[in-house]
Structures are given as C-alpha cells and as structure tokens.
C-alpha cells in the first residue's frame, strides 16, 4: 500500500495559521464544539489525542506527582527580584514539559494537570487583606505585579522564536479580589480611573510586554457585565485596545454564573452565546457544550466558533503538539530536571530572599553563638500546610520550620519542640508544659500565623467560616493568648509568622523580641528560615503589601474603590508599610543626582545615587523608586512605585546605581481612564521602603529625595 499523503495540518513546513485553518476545515460541527471546553476528547479519525487545557503552575507544577515547590506567589513577590522570578518560571516550565512528555509516552494522551497550558500567574491586585486568595498574587501594587508577572511569563513560555515551552495564562481578568463567598454573583463597580490606574495595568503589561498566550476571565461582573462574557473587557480592551493575540478561557464554571449567579441570561444556551459573542474562546467545565443549540436558536454562527477554535488550536500548534518531537526543542527536557538539585537550590534561594524581618529588638537575631537552649513552639512549626499555601505541588523532601531549625542548630545547643497551641481552636487540656520550658530557654521561636486551612480559595480552607476569607486580620485569638502567656512567663519570643496576607499584631508587636514573616515558603522553608535565624544570610525580603494596624483601618470589603486602600491611597499609619523589611546590616542612601531638574513632556527621567553597606555583613538591599505628582489636575496616588532593583553589596562597600525611567512613569490616569502627563512639579524618592515616617521609625534607612519639573 503506498504511503498516505501528509495532511496539511500535519506539515511542519507550513505556517501555523495555515495548518490551523486546514484542521478546522476538516472538523464537523460536533467535533469543533467538543474542542471548545477545557477537556478536549480525542478525534481518532484524524489521530488527534485527547488534551486538557487545565494545568496549574502558580509556584510549582500542581497536582501531578513530584514537583519542586517554590514559595507561594506572595512570597516570591517579597523577594522583589525579576531575575529570580524568571528562573522560577523557567524551572516550573522545565518540569511541566518533562512531565507532559512522560505522560504522553506512558499513555498516548494527557489528562487534567498534565498539559502544557498553565493557568498562572494570578496578577489580580491584592486590594484588601481579608481576601483568602490574595496569597496567589504579587501584592497590592500594579507596577510591581506587572514587572514580576512579565518575568514569570517569560520563564514559563521560553525564548524559542517558533515554539512555546508552555503557555502561561494571566488571571483573573478583571477586578477579581474577593469576597470569596460572593464571587459567583458580585458586581464590582469601579470607576474608569481605578480600573485603568490599578486593576488593569498588570494585565496590559503581560499582554504587551511578555506576549502572554492566554487570559482567564473572572467569575464576577465588572460594572454590570460578567467578566468572562464582557464585550468591554474582552473585545474593546483586551483585543482592540491592547492587541492581544492569544486565547481567552473562562474561570471554571464561570459561564454557569452568567445565568445562575448573575442572572443576566435565561439559560446555559444563552450564557454560552453571550460568552462566545464577547470573545471567550474556551469554557472551563461546562456551558460551551450548548453551542450547537445556540446555533440552532440563531444566537451564534459557526464562523464564530471557527474563530474561537482558531485561537485555541493555534496555542496547541505553537506548543508543538502536532509536530515531530525532534523538531520541538523542549521535548528533549529530561525527567531528571524534576526536583533536581539545581531546582531544590533555587527553591531555597527563593525562600531565603522572600523572608521579611519586621522587628529585631536589641539585635536578638541572628541567634547568638552563646545561646544554649532553644524552644520551638507553635502550630506551624511542624506543619506541612504552612509550607505549601494553595495551588501547590508536593514532593518527598519538604522541610518544616522545626526540621530546618533543628537541622541547623549546633551540637551542644538544647533544642526542644512542642506544638503548644492549635492553629485556631482552643486547647481542650488545661495542662500546659510549654510555658515553663520556654521561660527556661534562652530563645523561644514561636511559629504562628495562618495556613491554607484558614485562608485560601472558597473550597479549600476547611477551618474558615468565610469560605477562605478572614473577617479579622489579627492572629487567631488562641494564638494571641498563647504568645502573651509565654511573654508573661519570661520567655524571649521570636515570632515567626506564616501566612499569605497581612497579620495585625496589636500589642503583641511590642511584647515580642523579633518578628519574622516567612509567608508559605515552599519545600525549603525550614532550611531557609534556619539560614536567616542563624545568620548564614541576611534577611532581604520586602513587603509587597501594606500591613494595617487593625481590620478597622480597612474600607468595606465589597467596596472596590481604591480610596483609602494600599500605600498609594491610604493616609492611615500602618503597622508595617509597603516595601518595608529590615536587614542584619545597615545601608545608607546618598548622592541622588538628576540628569536634569527640568524635563520636557515625553522625556525620560535619568538619575543616579550611591548605596553603602555600613555594617559588617555582605547583604542584599532592594532599592525602591517612587514618584509623587504634586500638581496633577486629577486625584492621583500619594506616591507610586515606578522602579526597583535588588543589589548585593559587600560589607563596608558602596555601589553607584543609575536608573532611567520611561516617560510613562510620569503619567497619571484621569476620570475617563486615559493616561496623561502634564507639566508641573514632581517629587522623586529613592529608599528601601515606601515614603512616610513609619518606615524610618521602624529602622528603614533614610531615603533620598529630589524635586523636578516637567515643562
């Protein structure tokens, strides 16, 4: 029998667009519709295997066997390190590729969580500390979020000119940030100014700066339109204004919300038509199986299905799934990369850089060599959940905080461990053997805070009364009482906090000797914490969000206006400000000099300064650049982050640093949502924390400032 001719869609010599068009032309309507949901069945007559678009990789490959577990996204953000973020994205995509190839070779197809389309990163703005999913984000600032997101996407998607290593997805578009219990029905009412000043810039940055392959629509409505079926968001903004070329996927079962939760459609058929007409290409879970009926009703036509399918199939072609493996450079990534020594070292580096030292009275840290007895206490000391956060992978080498400290403590130092208090429930036994031990120790390391059992997505936080959100941002009362009891007994407490969101400490902040925030630090969390506590490295993490003093400082949770929120708009003194984090050494900023004190509209801002390490320890510092528009004709942020850089400076040495800020850094957003730049006076501030007295009161280096004018 003569060899069969190669079908055009199988011909690598043709363009991807030509091949996609050929494949679509060979599909029946039923086959087309079958490929419009995340779970696509095989098409045997064309030898197309099953494929599921639903895979996750927020801080490691999720739910697919062994994987390197990096710090939760909010912890990665606390490192303020775009180079690190890109390396983390590269490691995750390497492991994702290796796992995909292994599954394909084993069974000939892949199922959910085994594919190459990863629904990460989450670049929603963490506008309210009560939101349980805020831990998945990069914090409260749109600029920091955009820069870290671009770096992550570039690591995930690779740098081959033809093929994608994996396809990243920016989610959840848009204005998605709690409350979790209302997300299936809530209408986020936002002004055009807040929308374009806060909620959309990171998405625009990933679309135009990283060519992110996919965007996920959110559950909620935005100004009346369901986000996953919003003509304003998906057509007018994403595709027409920003030029997005990839595909749009709904959040899972979000299209059901169109008629069940939001009640803006009569039934699933009408909801499917609304979403398709608005530009949603894939439905996760349900609803697009009704598209044939939508055609019969005249609500959509087959050409619209072809257009959506063209976008999603184009992603699969760019991933090389229809090409011989030897033509796709990423198919040769071996399984040995999974949890490799290199990736484990990277996880430890990331965890170290994410740890934020918030208080260090009398320099109790690093732990002094004369310390003879250490007590480790608290519900998170031996907790695996406290390492992982949510949307996590797992492996056999997770190091708890207790294990890390014990593994690092020198022989001859007595180290003991007891939980002492549950995570959120009161102890039932009135006997307490922990207080006496803590009081007799030179140092008590109290590992407190939260875990994904208390804060997370709506179905995961099984100890939460609020579907993963928090009604109060303080520590659980049982933990507060326990720490107070330790202090009253005479214990010198180093408070180590796990969590994915701000924690208000009340009078505990004055009572403990030190406060160390470790987030959900991933597989190497215990080792990284020990590295910092024992002084093997200096802490260098910075807060990617403001820690309020109390829940009472927050506007109503369901109010999406930015007034009174985040460091950009709140005028209340925080517990710990945005960008804050202490070191074991001291840095000095000096010599700020602008290239010019007067700029023309559209001209970049160039300046330089010097940073000196005044202490006796080599360390990293994060330079943060803020601008304040002092004469804007519309409401603007008090100050906004426009640049940052992590630098390593040896003890006693100094470094000259130069920045060039693009003209866009000087813009503001008016009431119509348009970016503008006006003549007037500006203030430039460079330091290691957001501007304000609180940072200096807590020990941050004094920033340097300069005024300049735009003519």
* Structural domain contains residue 558: no
* Structural domain contains residue 554: no
- Quick one: 320 and 357 in the same domain? no
For residues 484-502, give the mean pLDDT.
Answer: 98
- Give the end of a domain, one of 329, 360, 381: 329
Six token digits for residue 502: 């701000």
CATH number of the domain at 387, please: 3.40.50.1700
- Give the end of a domain, one of 520, 545, 570: 545
* Structural domain contains residue 402: yes
CATH number of the domain at 592, please: 2.60.40.10
Domain hosting residue 246, numbered range: 8-329
- Quick one: 384 and 317 in the same domain? no
Phi, psi at 376, each rounded to 5°: -110, 125
Contact 390, 136 (CB under 8 A): yes
Helix (H) or strand (E) holding 89: helix 82-107
CATH number of the domain at 229, please: 3.20.20.300
- Quick one: 513 and 661 in the same domain? no
* Structural domain contains residue 565: no
Work out whether strand 598-599 and strand 668-669 pair parallel, antiparallel, or are unpaired: unpaired
Kindly report, residue by residue over 201-224, the tens digit of the pLDDT.
Answer: 999 999 999 999 999 999 999 999
* Structural domain contains residue 179: yes
DSSP secondary structure code for residue 546 in this structure: -
In the chain, the largest separation of any two C-alpha atoms, in whole Å, equals 89
- Give the end of a domain, one of 545, 569, 602: 545
Work out whether strand 443-449 and strand 493-498 pair parallel, antiparallel, or are unpaired: parallel
Six token digits for residue 340: 């490799």
Kindly report, residue by residue over 303-360, the tens digit of the pLDDT.
Answer: 999 999 999 999 999 999 999 999 999 999 999 999 999 999 999 999 999 999 999 9
- Quick one: 386 and 529 in the same domain? yes
Q: What domain count does the chain have? A: 3
CA torsion through residues 145, 151, 156, 162, sign: positive
Contact 75, 140 (CB under 8 A): no
What local confidence, expressed as pLDDT, does residue 1 receive?
A: 41
For residues 466-491, give the mean pLDDT.
Answer: 97
Helix (H) or strand (E) holding 444: strand 443-449
Kindly report, residue by residue over 417-442, the tens digit of the pLDDT.
Answer: 999 999 999 889 988 889 999 999 99
* Structural domain contains residue 568: no
By the 10 Å C-beta count (0-12 exposed, 13-18 middle, 19+ buried), 287 is classed as buried
- Quick one: 321 and 350 in the same domain? no
For residues 287-305, give the mean pLDDT.
Answer: 98
What local confidence, expressed as pLDDT, does residue 318 receive?
A: 98
Six token digits for residue 526: 């215990």
- Quick one: 634 and 694 in the same domain? yes
Work out whether strand 619-629 and strand 680-687 pair parallel, antiparallel, or are unpaired: antiparallel
Shortest CA distance to 543 belongs to which of 498, 496, 517, 579? 579
Phi, psi at 86, each rounded to 5°: -65, -40
Contact 220, 175 (CB under 8 A): yes
Kindly report, residue by residue over 152-179, the tens digit of the pLDDT.
Answer: 999 999 999 999 999 999 999 999 999 9
Helix (H) or strand (E) holding 250: strand 247-250
Decide if 251 is catalytic: yes
Displacement of CA 594 from its chain's centroid (Å): 33
Residue listed under structure tokens 């160039």: 606
Residue 574 has pLDDT above 80, yes or no: yes
**CA 514 to CA 496: how far, in whole Å?**
8
For residues 683-706, give the mean pLDDT.
Answer: 97
Shortest CA distance to 125 belongs to which of 42, 204, 31? 204
Instruction: Find all residues with CB under 8 Å of 339, minimum gap 6, and list them.
Output: 66, 67, 68, 95, 395, 397
Q: Which residues of 54-75 are buried (b: 16+ CB within 10 A; e: fewer)?
A: bbbbbbbbbebbbbbbbbbbbb
Q: Which of 180, 251, 281, 349 is labelled catalytic?
A: 251
Under the banding of pLDDT at 50, 70 and 90, the label for residue 6 is: confident
**CA 219 to CA 280: how far, in whole Å?**
13
Beta bridge partners, 418, equal 377
For residues 635-648, give the mean pLDDT.
Answer: 97
What local confidence, expressed as pLDDT, does residue 430 receive?
A: 86
% the chain with pLDDT above 90:
97
Q: What stretches of 358-507 show up as alpha helix (H) in DSSP?
A: 385-388, 401-408, 434-440, 477-488
Work out whether strand 39-40 and strand 414-418 pair parallel, antiparallel, or are unpaired: unpaired
Residue 4 has pLDDT above 70, yes or no: no
Mean pLDDT of the chain: 97
Under the banding of pLDDT at 50, 70 and 90, the label for residue 286 is: confident
Decide if 194 is catalytic: no
- Quick one: 456 and 530 in the same domain? yes
Kindly report, residue by residue over 25-67, the tens digit of the pLDDT.
Answer: 999 999 999 999 999 999 999 999 999 999 999 999 999 999 9
CB atoms within 10 A of CB 428: 6
**CA 249 to CA 56: how far, in whole Å?**
14
Work out whether strand 514-519 and strand 443-449 pair parallel, antiparallel, or are unpaired: unpaired
* Structural domain contains residue 81: yes
* Structural domain contains residue 459: yes
- Quick one: 392 and 496 in the same domain? yes
* pTM for the whole structure: 0.97
- Quick one: 361 and 270 in the same domain? no
Shortest CA distance to 147 belongs to which of 664, 657, 689? 664
For residues 520-543, give the mean pLDDT.
Answer: 98
Phi, psi at 588, each rounded to 5°: -130, 130
Q: What is the CA radius of gyration of the chain?
A: 26
- Quick one: 296 and 370 in the same domain? no
Q: Which of 403, 455, 531, 620 is labelled catalytic?
A: 455
Residue listed under structure tokens 């309020």: 548
- Quick one: 597 and 666 in the same domain? yes
% the chain with pLDDT above 70:
99
Distances (CA, A) of 281 to 32, 318, 513: 12, 17, 54
What local confidence, expressed as pLDDT, does residue 2 receive?
A: 45
**CA 433 to CA 5: how far, in whole Å?**
79
**CA 424 to CA 474: how far, in whole Å?**
12
- Quick one: 314 and 412 in the same domain? no
Question: Is 696 in a helix, a strand, or coil?
Answer: helix
């Amino acid at each position: 029998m003569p060899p069969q001719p190669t079908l055009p869609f199988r011909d690598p010599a043709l363009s991807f667009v030509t091949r996609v068009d050929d494949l679509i032309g060979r599909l029946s309507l039923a086959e087309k519709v079958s490929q419009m949901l995340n779970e696509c069945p095989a098409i045997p007559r064309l030898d197309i295997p099953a494929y599921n678009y639903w895979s996750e990789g927020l801080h490691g490959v999720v739910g697919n066997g062994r994987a390197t577990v990096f710090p939760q996204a909010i912890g990665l953000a606390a490192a303020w390190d775009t180079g690190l973020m890109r390396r983390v994205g590269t490691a995750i995509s390497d492991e994702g590729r290796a796992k995909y190839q292994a599954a394909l070779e084993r069974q000939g197809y892949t199922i959910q969580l085994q594919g190459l389309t990863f629904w990460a990163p989450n670049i929603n703005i963490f506008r309210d500390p009560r939101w349980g999913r805020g831990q998945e984000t990069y914090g409260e600032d749109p600029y920091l979020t955009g820069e870290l997101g671009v770096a992550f996407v570039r690591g995930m998607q690779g740098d081959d000119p033809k093929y994608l290593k994996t396809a990243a997805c920016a989610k959840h578009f848009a204005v998605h940030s709690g409350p979790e219990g209302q997300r299936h029905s809530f209408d986020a009412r936002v002004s055009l100014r807040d929308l374009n000043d806060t909620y959309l810039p990171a998405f625009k940055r990933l679309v135009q700066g990283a060519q992110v392959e996919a965007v996920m629509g959110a559950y909620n409505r935005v100004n009346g339109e369901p986000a996953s079926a919003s003509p304003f968001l998906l057509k007018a903004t994403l595709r027409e204004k920003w030029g997005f070329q990839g595909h749009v996927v709904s959040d899972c079962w979000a299209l059901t919300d169109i008629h069940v939760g939001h009640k803006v459609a009569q039934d699933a058929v009408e909801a499917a038509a609304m979403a398709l007409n608005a530009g949603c290409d894939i439905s996760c879970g349900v609803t697009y199986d009704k598209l044939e009926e939508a055609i019969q009703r005249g609500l959509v036509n087959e050409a619209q299905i072809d257009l959506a399918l063209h976008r999603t199939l184009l992603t699969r072609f760019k991933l090389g799934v229809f090409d011989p493996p030897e033509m796709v450079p990423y198919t040769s990534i071996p399984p040995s990369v999974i949890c490799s020594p290199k990736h484990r070292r990277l996880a430890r580096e990331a965890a170290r850089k994410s740890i934020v030292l918030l208080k260090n009275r009398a320099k109790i840290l690093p732990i002094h060599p004369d310390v003879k007895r250490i007590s480790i206490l608290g519900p998170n000391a031996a907790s695996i959940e406290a390492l992982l956060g949510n949307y996590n992978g797992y492996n056999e080498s997770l190091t708890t905080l207790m294990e890390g400290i014990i593994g690092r403590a020198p022989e001859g130092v007595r180290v003991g461990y007891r939980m002492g208090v549950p995570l959120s429930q009161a102890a039932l036994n009135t006997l307490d053997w922990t207080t006496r031990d803590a009081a007799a120790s030179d140092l008590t390391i109290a590992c407190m805070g939260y875990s994904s059992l208390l804060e997370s997505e709506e179905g995961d936080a099984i100890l939460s009364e609020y579907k993963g959100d928090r009604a109060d941002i303080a520590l659980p009362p049982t933990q507060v009482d326990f720490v107070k009891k330790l202090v009253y007994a005479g214990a010198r407490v180093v408070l180590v906090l796990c969590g994915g969101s701000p924690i208000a400490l009340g009078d505990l902040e004055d009572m403990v000797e030190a406060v160390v925030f470790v987030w959900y630090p991933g597989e190497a969390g215990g080792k990284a914490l020990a590295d910092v506590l024992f002084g093997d490295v200096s802490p260098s993490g910075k807060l990617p969000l403001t820690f309020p003093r109390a829940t009472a400082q927050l506007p109503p949770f369901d109010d999406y206006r930015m007034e009174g929120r985040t460091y950009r708009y709140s005028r209340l003194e925080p517990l710990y400000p945005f960008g804050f984090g202490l070191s074991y050494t001291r840095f000095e900023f000096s010599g700020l000099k602008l290239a010019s004190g007067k700029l023309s509209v559209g001209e970049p801002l160039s300046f330089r300064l010097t940073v000196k390490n005044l202490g006796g320890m080599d360390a990293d510092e994060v330079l943060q650049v803020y601008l304040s528009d002092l004469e804007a004709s519309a409401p603007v942020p008090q100050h906004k982050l426009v640049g940052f850089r992590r630098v390593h400076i040896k003890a006693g040495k100094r470094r000259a640093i130069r920045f060039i800020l693009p003209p866009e850094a000087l813009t503001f957003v008016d009431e119509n949502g348009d970016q503008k730049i006006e003549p007037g006076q500006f203030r430039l501030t460079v330091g290691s924390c957001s501007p304000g007295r609180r940072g200096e009161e807590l020990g941050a280096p004094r920033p340097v400032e300069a005024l300049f004018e735009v003519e």
